[in-house]
């Protein structure tokens, strides 16, 4: 059980949530991570949605990555042959999941996201890479934005470590 407080009304409650998942183990968790709704909770008292932060470890042994949502800095007994990404907040975790689950280069996509946000002066959410049109898709307030890549950038999109 996880104790939490609604950031809108201050309602204190406890909720049962998984703190560990392996890719393909639970299709509901996988789907909600893909949709970006896994950490979303609606307060029973004020009915306002918010992100429910709780420690969570997600492992994809096929793509060889582990995502950890935690304020903790060090971890023991993790596989050395897998990429380990520690996220301090839900948005970092969901972004990293979106990128890594598509076998894309996390650093490159993050840089393109920041460049786009600086250009339009608004936060965006990464969605996917369109290999046919060679563009990255983002959302700004539920409106899609395509970011066309230059020819020299296309080879940087995929995480070559995981795709070889």
Biggest CA pair distance of the chain: 52
Q: Is 93 exposed, middle or buried (0-12, 13-18, 19+ CB in 10 A)?
A: buried
Q: In angstroms, rounded to a whole number, what is the distance separating the alpha carbons of residues 21 and 60?
A: 9
Of 157, 76, 52, the residue nearest 84 (C-alpha):
76
Say whether pLDDT at 163 is over 50.
Answer: no
Q: What is the pTM of this model?
A: 0.89
pLDDT digits (tens, 9 = 90+) for 74-131: 888 888 899 999 999 999 999 999 999 999 999 999 999 999 999 999 999 999 999 9
In this structure, the number of other CB atoms found within 10 A of the CB of residue 77 comes to 4
- Give the CA radius of gyration of the chain: 17
């Amino acid at each position: 059980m996880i104790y939490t407080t609604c950031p809108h009304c201050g309602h204190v409650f406890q909720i049962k949530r998984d703190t560990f998942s392996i890719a393909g183990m639970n299709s509901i968790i996988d789907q909600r991570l893909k949709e970006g709704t896994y950490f979303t909770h609606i307060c029973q008292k004020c009915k306002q949605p918010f992100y429910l932060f709780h420690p969570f470890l997600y492992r994809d042994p096929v793509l060889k990555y582990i995502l950890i949502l935690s304020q903790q800095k060090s971890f023991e007994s993790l596989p050395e042959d897998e990429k380990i990404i520690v996220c301090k907040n839900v948005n970092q975790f969901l972004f990293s999941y979106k990128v890594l689950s598509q076998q894309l280069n996390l650093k490159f996509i993050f840089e393109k996201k920041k460049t786009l946000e600086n250009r339009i002066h608004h936060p965006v959410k990464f969605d996917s890479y369109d290999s046919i049109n060679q563009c990255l898709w983002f959302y700004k307030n539920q409106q899609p934005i395509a970011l066309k890549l230059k020819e020299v950038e296309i080879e940087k999109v995929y995480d070559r470590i995981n795709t070889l």
